[in-house]
Amino acid sequence: MSSTDYKYGTGLSNVGSYQVSGKPFLSGGIDTSVIDQVTFPTVTQWVHISSSGPVKVGMSANGVDPGTNYFTVDTAGGQQLPLLEIKCTELHFDGTAIIDVVAGLTGIPIERINNISTDGTNWSGSAGIG
């Protein structure tokens, strides 16, 4: 094999991608009754979500509906959601709240996450991963 057969680059275990500050991603005023997912341009380093009321949040459509692999965010109801230090490429929602999503992005292309299925979706929504 020649050296051109290999493609080198950053991946999920690249420590440096998580040691530096994340590139900002901001999306506000998302009406979850109309928009049911946010797709990030690269793998996230961390995510923070605030909401105007209760909304289910998962890593896949299967995790949120009809699945049970999600968590509920309701910051308007007094919930204090911590900064979520997670590696993901998208978030899925089920509810009628207005949400804001802030994330720190790594330089890792979404194709490098090893959980993307052949149809290009994020986590499957099975085995406890929503």
Which domains, and CATH codes, for the chain?
22-109 (2.60.120)
pLDDT at 69 over 80: yes
pLDDT digits (tens, 9 = 90+) for 77-107: 888 889 999 888 899 999 999 999 999 999 9
- pLDDT on residue 26: 97
Contact assessment for residue 73 and residue 130, using Cβ atoms and an 8 Å cutoff: no
Rounded (10°) CA dihedral 41, 45, 49, 55: 80
Q: What is the pLDDT of residue 130?
A: 45
Backbone φ, ψ for residue 111 (5° rounding): -65, -20
Token pair, residue 31, equals 């009406």
Which pTM was predicted? 0.80
pLDDT above 70: residue 121:
no
| pLDDT band at 60; cut points 50, 70, 90 | confident
Give the C-alpha separation, 32 to 88, whole Å: 19
Q: Is the model more confident about 2 or about 56?
A: 56
